[in-house]
Amino acid sequence: MLETLRAHRERLRGVAVIEPDASEATLRALDEAGVRALRLNVLFGGGIGFEKLERLASIAREMGWHLEFLIDAKDLVELAPRLRKSPARFVIDHMGHFPTSRGLDDPGFRTLLGFVGDGAWVKLSGAYRTSVAGTPYEDVIPFARALLKAAPDRCVWGSDWPHVAHWPGPLNAGDLLDGLADWAPADEDRQRVLVRNPAHLYGF
């Protein structure tokens, strides 16, 4: 990843998974290459979990980075007191990564909306992971619109490529991007989500 970032400094930024005891030299090398965030993952194996939240938040704050969370929104309810104390900004992946069948009044989604309204960021992505209706994921539209309404300047889009753990097969990122037109019908909002917001978040 670092080799790729260094080869395309104007175009790319990175999100890293690190050990909490990473050396100062390692952190500086990551920053110099273009890393701008640290990821915590409690949904799939191989990641760093929330038991390291406070230490990683401290590192992110010191480096001028943010944290990125792959988490089911239902777990945000219990984690809320710790997250509110985070000294670092954070982004929640895939609109909270929970099935739309839980509804807009799901306590986890309401907690997510509260965080986003108070300053957190969210990725409008992963519709194929949260939809219970399938393509074209129309059941995801109200969730995406609610998040965009809560914080139009703190939403970013992502393709979620290469779509790991999606067993039915590969997806077309263009088809996923088409869904943004339904989530953000206004040109101004799409400009925010695709251009201005990521430029601010990742330091382009």
Whole-model pTM? 0.95
Higher-pLDDT residue of 32, 47: 32
The answer to whether 47 and 41 have CB atoms below 8 angstroms apart is: yes
Provide the pLDDT confidence category of residue 88 given band limits of 50, 70 and 90. Answer: very high
Farthest CA pair distance, the chain: 47
The answer to whether 118 and 88 have CB atoms below 8 angstroms apart is: no
Mean pLDDT of 75-88: 96
Q: Phi/psi at 161 (nearest 5 deg)?
A: -60, 140
Residue 57 CA, distance from chain mean position: 15
Mean pLDDT of 12-20: 96
At 146, which amino acid appears? A
Q: What is the pLDDT of residue 167?
A: 82
Q: How many CB atoms lie within 10 A of CB 111?
A: 20
Provide the pLDDT confidence category of residue 67 given band limits of 50, 70 and 90. Answer: very high
Q: What is the pLDDT of residue 168?
A: 82
- Two tokens, residue 107: 């306590």
**Class of 61-202 per CATH?**
alpha beta
State how far the Cα of 27 lies from the Cα of 29, in Å rounded to an integer.
5
Q: Is the peptide bond before 136 cis (omega within 30 degrees of 0)?
A: yes
The answer to whether 2 and 33 have CB atoms below 8 angstroms apart is: yes
114: closest CA among 156, 81, 161, 162?
Answer: 81
Q: What is the pLDDT of residue 41?
A: 92
